[in-house]
Amino acid sequence: MDTWPVSIIIPNYNGEQILPRSLTSVSEAVRAYAGQSEIIIVDDASQDNSVTLISQDYPDIKLVRHEVNKGFSEAIHSGVQAAVYPIVILLNSDVYPDRHFIDPLIRWFDREDTFSVSPLILDQGGNPARVSWNLVKLLRGEIRSSNWDLMSALELKRKRQSLKSLFAAGGSAAIRKEMFLQLGGFLSIYRPFYYEDRDLGTRAWKCGWKTYFEPESKVVHDHSSTIKRFFPYKKIKIIKRRNRLFYLWLHLSAPKLFFSHIPWILVRLLARLLRFDTVYALALFSALLRAGEVIKSRSNPGMKAAQKKPLEEILAEIKY
């Protein structure tokens, strides 16, 4: 298909000050795209004038409203349910796409096994963000993001190599709607934020569905509407650390979990407590309180079958 129809989904919470710039850039990209498209904003019970702004200044945009705040994942789920087209593009309200960012992303969906595609994410200074291309390795029972440079990525692309990635960051990703729904979207265990997109991409790989990095598609992320505005720094660190534990407990093979990950948990816990760093201990305690949910998830038929392709096997498949 030359031009897949696309639905662009933008979750919003109190984004009145940044929405005009965002919607200007998204609207320009839609006009530059030859295929059919729609823009959907999911307002997650904003307390500012976001809804009035959208209704008055952008009447052609489809507006979905939450009466109570439900968080990022549920905002995306509402947007996907409202989308009428087979490819959805998720964009945070502080992400500003290049005018021609859609075409390079959409071409990948001519491959039947494409689940999602990530653009090149730039900061305000034009520097590539590592989360654009998610190459990950396992070290001492933990996951570590691998460094990469843009010139090497472009050289691989010039040689017609597909740039496989573990996942596409939820703030700027093109996703096949049908596959997203088959996977059940983001898992609730990761609420309120962090690791839900990594988990989703991993579950897609376990189904044989692939994620790619497309550096010809570009967006700018200025981080002006991040969770740091709404949550204390220490709480963010605890949630991020807790969710990393959830992710590993769900996706590592049993041998890697019991003979590598768990022993190193004890080492890390002791090391951090000796430095009077309580974040790791609090995150571990919080994760253990919900360990039953993880065990239940690993035991359900779909996840149990997926464990035949554990995380370490997926990481070997996307290694460069």
242 and 138 within one domain = no
242 and 219 within one domain = no
What is residue 231's predicted lDDT score, i.e. its pLDDT?
73
Mean pLDDT of the chain: 93
Asked if residue 320 is part of any domain, the answer here is no
Q: Find the mean pLDDT for residues 41-68.
A: 95
What is residue 232's predicted lDDT score, i.e. its pLDDT?
83
What is residue 34's predicted lDDT score, i.e. its pLDDT?
94
Asked if residue 319 is part of any domain, the answer here is no
What is residue 226's predicted lDDT score, i.e. its pLDDT?
60
At residue 1, does pLDDT exceed 70? Answer: no
State the total domains in the chain.
2
The model's pLDDT over 121-169, given as tens digits with 9 standing for 90+, comes to: 999 999 999 999 999 999 999 999 999 999 999 999 999 999 999 999 9
The model's pLDDT over 201-217, given as tens digits with 9 standing for 90+, comes to: 999 999 999 999 999 99
Inter-CA distances, 64 with 17, 25, 191, 227, 251, Å: 19, 20, 21, 21, 33
178 and 46 within one domain = yes
Report the CATH number at residue 127: 3.90.550.10
197 and 89 within one domain = yes
Contact 163, 215 (CB under 8 A): yes
Q: What percent of the chain has pLDDT over 70?
A: 94
Look at 309 and 39; give whichever has higher pLDDT: 39
At residue 305, does pLDDT exceed 60? Answer: no
Q: 181, 202, 224 — which closes off a domain?
A: 224
Instruction: Mention every residue, 6+ apart, whose C-beta is less than 8 A from residue 212.
Output: 108, 114, 116, 117, 118, 162, 163, 164, 165
Asked if residue 186 is part of any domain, the answer here is yes
What is residue 230's predicted lDDT score, i.e. its pLDDT?
67
Instruction: Mention every residue, 6+ apart, whose C-beta is less than 8 A from residue 191.
Output: 71, 73
Q: 201, 224, 247 — which closes off a domain?
A: 224
Q: Find the mean pLDDT for residues 68-83.
A: 95
Strand partners, 91: 172
Q: 224, 255, 281 — which closes off a domain?
A: 224
Q: How confident is the model at residue 297 (pLDDT cuts 50, 70, 90)?
A: confident
Domain with 252 in it: 233-311
Q: What is the pTM of this model?
A: 0.94
